[in-house]
Amino acid sequence: MAFMAVLESDLRALSAEARRRYPAVKDAAEHAILKLRTLSGPSEIAHNEDIVRIFLLACDARSVKMSVIGLSCLQKLISHDAVAPSALKGILSTLKDHAEMADDGVQLKTLQAILMIFQSNLHPDTEDDMAQALGICLRLLESSRSSDSVRNTAAATFRQAVALIFDNVVSSESLPSGKCGSHASRANSVANDVTRSINQSLDTSSISSQPVMRETLTKAGKLGLLLLEDLTALAAGGSAVWLRVHSLQRIFALDILEFVLSHYAAVFRTLVPYEQVLRHQICSLLMTSLRINAELEGESGEPTFRRLVLRSVAHVIRLYSSFLVTESEVFLNMLVKVTCLDVPLWHRILVLEVLRGFSVEVRTLRLLFQNFDMNPKNTNVVETIVKALARVVSTIQQVPESSEESLAAVAGMFSSKAKGIEWSMDNDASNAAVVVASEAHAITLAVEGLLGIVFAVATLTDEAVDVGELESPKSDTDIASKCIGETAALCVSMVNSTWLIILDALSLILTRSQGEAIIIEILKGYQAFTQACGVLNLVEPLNSFLASLCKFTINIPIDGEKKSLLLSPGAKKSEALVDQRDNIVLTPKNVQALRTLFNVAHRLHNVLGASWVLVLETLAALDRAIHSPHASTQEVSASVSRLTRETSGQYSDFNILSSLNSQLFESSALMHVSAVKSLLSALRQLSSQCFSGCSSGTGQGSNQQIGSVAFCVERMTSVIVNNLPRVQHIWDDVVGHLVELSGSSNQQLRNLALDSLDQSICAVLGSDQFQSNYPPLNWNYLQNFVSLDCPLHFKSNP
């Protein structure tokens, strides 16, 4: 065997090194070589103490070269399970002595041997052996004589040993092995972060439910508990009784504690002694460390320490709030309070990172909302978090002189994120540029947190649809949306408690922002939340988000005070879309908002109902802009002629929007009959509103109102043409309004109505359905035209 050959070679090297000064070692090495030749492999070596004894003897010589050879050979024996457990005490005693030698090479070999012990079948199973092995690492870590390489290796060795100890606890206690450590890296969008949080929660589903608690512990469980208690004491600035360590850097101890909390949730959720340490000792430590004290010095005042405290608090809330309800509520309220206090920017950013993390984690957000907001006995923590994030976003209004710089920096951070570039906090806020960047960092985290909640609500709504609690807006059944089940009820409650706060904050940042990446991200949020409100049949937030979205679609110069567009269907409409000026320039923000509006309308066409009026007002304004010779996109000057723009291919935005506008009404063929009737009702409502104001007018306003009527009439005709198989259900709605228009004193309106009637009748008469089965249509409307001086002239004669 190669191992046996290597071991014999090491023994010969040891014999040669000991030849002059250590004859006893030389003789023992040569004897061991002869003995080795009689053994067949590692298992027989483990039962023969002579081989291990010679290497321990070499180490006892305290010669650097001899010790390096002896320690190297011990590592090989341990890694091949060629050492009996009975030899562990002697090996640990030797390693403890070598940790005190002033040679870096020997100390590093000692640490390597310690790690090898934890990875092998020699893994300590008694309190004394475990404490001694871990103590060697901690003494080298804290020794002022240790070099940086030794100190770093000791820290890494201790960290790996702790992981192996708790892995052994999980195995011995027969607990789920799934780990749920958080990922520091982020996706290139908030929506992708939410999606990834869903995938991670599926990976850790084995520990998501509360198991039956157990009081008794195995031997490995008791060792892990001793280690946990000492780590907690060290993190609090105390001494470790079992490990016999008087002091340790709090940051290092807290780092290890945070690792255990995040990766071994099943231990704390199943074993009562661990749960008690978590509840009474760890939570006490974290609450004390979380308190704001302006006089904090040393480690407690450092960003690194504060970050570890906040991460540990986040793990407690995320993983253990189901049974640490009171503690989690206190933690959450303390976190939100920090966002309002006069603390260093870096501190506020660290807290916002935690709150953002909760917001993009669907399972965490759901758990918090169920345990707190939906429980009358507890605080509405999710609503409080939303208010805190919105308050941070609103700071861009409080300092006008620096808000533009901050907004530009926020847009830059979203742009970097879209490209996959991570941005991090600069702790040195000593100059103006860093302060602006830090303020932008805080605002960015707050915006992302609000968007995370938006996408989480949308994700939960989709889940409610998937499990049958809600009717899909694309369902084939023409019935009212039902809302039953736990997930659907949670979504409704979450929307009702947060939508107004979210809308105010997102509309503010969207109004002030110009960067492409941030605009696209926020509009995605608008779309996701609006669609969720539609599926949940929540009319007020649906209409408010729709109206706000429409506000960003068309740039219309208006003289005088701007008027709010947050109107519900049936209310008096804003004059912004009626008093439109000729010179309209669509910015990239306008174009993206229009695309978003089309996406929402396509997704919700079966459930918009009366909300169609809000959409149609905007589409009518877009139609007028498309047909205006003075309208353009921002990249194309309005002074360039329409012909030049069209032939040069620079008019593509309007071409695309025009196509989307037409496709929306052509897709009415896929809508429920009741939805088509709602669409036609909204078209008729908008047309009647404009018709009543322009019947006798001849000014600019009348021309724009006639344009809106023309839009409605053309879309009604399109709906008729695309719904011929079921035209009998919608015929009266369309023809009745066209007959009404045909009686107008305005010649242009009469012509519009008669042309539309002509097209509609010809389409019906020429349809396959008419030829095979005469549809029961009401033709009585057409009797009105007998007395008119403008008879119909069919464009075709089917």
Task: Assign 444 to helix, strand or coil.
Answer: helix
* Conformational region of residue 570, where left means phi above 0, alpha means psi within -120 to 50, and beta covers everything else: left
Who wins on pLDDT, 477 or 39? 39
Would you say the C-alpha torsion 85, 91, 93, 95 has a positive or negative sign?
negative
23: buried, middle or exposed (CB in 10 Å: 19+, 13-18, 0-12)? Answer: exposed
φ/ψ (deg, to 5) at 431: -130, 165
Q: Does the pLDDT at position 332 exceed 90?
A: yes
350: buried, middle or exposed (CB in 10 Å: 19+, 13-18, 0-12)? Answer: buried
Mean pLDDT (the chain, rounded):
84
Q: Are 524 and 597 in contact (CB under 8 A)?
A: no
Q: What is the pLDDT of residues 361-392, one digit of tens each?
A: 999 999 999 999 999 999 999 999 999 999 99
Mean pLDDT lowest for which of 290-304, 456-470, 567-581?
567-581
Q: Which band of pLDDT confidence, cut at 50, 70 and 90, is reported for residue 560? A: very low
Mean pLDDT lowest for which of 45-49, 133-137, 443-447, 719-723?
45-49
Q: Does the pLDDT at position 203 exceed 60?
A: no
Mean pLDDT lowest for which of 31-35, 425-429, 599-603?
425-429
51-65, 509-523, 626-640: which has the highest mean pLDDT?
509-523
- Return the pLDDT at 129: 95
Who wins on pLDDT, 788 or 588? 588
Average pLDDT over residues 223-241: 94
- Return the pLDDT at 565: 36
- Return the pLDDT at 296: 52
- Return the pLDDT at 419: 86
Q: Which band of pLDDT confidence, cut at 50, 70 and 90, is reported for residue 211? A: low
Mean pLDDT lowest for which of 25-29, 68-72, 289-293?
289-293
Q: How many CB atoms lie within 10 A of CB 639?
A: 9
Mean pLDDT lowest for which of 12-21, 211-220, 375-384?
12-21
Task: Assign 372 to helix, strand or coil.
Answer: helix
Q: Which band of pLDDT confidence, cut at 50, 70 and 90, is reported for residue 702? A: low
Q: Are 723 and 676 in contact (CB under 8 A)?
A: yes
Average pLDDT over residues 697-706: 61
Share of the chain above pLDDT 70, in %: 82
- Return the pLDDT at 185: 55
Mean pLDDT lowest for which of 137-146, 168-177, 394-403, 555-564?
555-564
Residue 522: both structure tokens together: 């926020």
- Return the pLDDT at 786: 45
- Return the pLDDT at 445: 95
Who wins on pLDDT, 648 or 337? 337
Amino acid at 745: S
Q: Does the pLDDT at position 283 exceed 80?
A: yes
- Return the pLDDT at 692: 75
Q: What is the pLDDT of residues 658-699, one digit of tens each?
A: 888 889 999 999 999 999 999 999 999 999 888 776 655 444
- Return the pLDDT at 635: 56
Q: How many Å apart are CA 608 and CA 531, to the nearest integer?
A: 10
Q: Does the pLDDT at position 51 exceed 80?
A: yes
Mean pLDDT lowest for which of 502-516, 601-615, 672-686, 769-783?
769-783
Q: Are 85 and 122 in contact (CB under 8 A)?
A: yes
- Return the pLDDT at 313: 97
First to last CA, the chain: 96
Q: Does the pLDDT at position 418 exceed 90?
A: no
- Return the pLDDT at 54: 87
Please give the C-alpha separations between residue 234 and each of 142, 227, 307, 633, in angstroms, as whole numbers.
Answer: 13, 11, 17, 64
DSSP codes of every residue in 658-670: HHHHHHHHHGGGG
Q: How many Å apart are CA 610 and CA 616, to the nearest integer?
A: 11
Who wins on pLDDT, 481 or 253? 253
Give me the residues paired with residue 586 across strands. 633
- Return the pLDDT at 684: 93
156-160, 294-298, 648-652, 766-770: which has the highest mean pLDDT?
156-160
Q: How many Å apart are CA 268 and CA 280, to the nearest integer?
A: 13
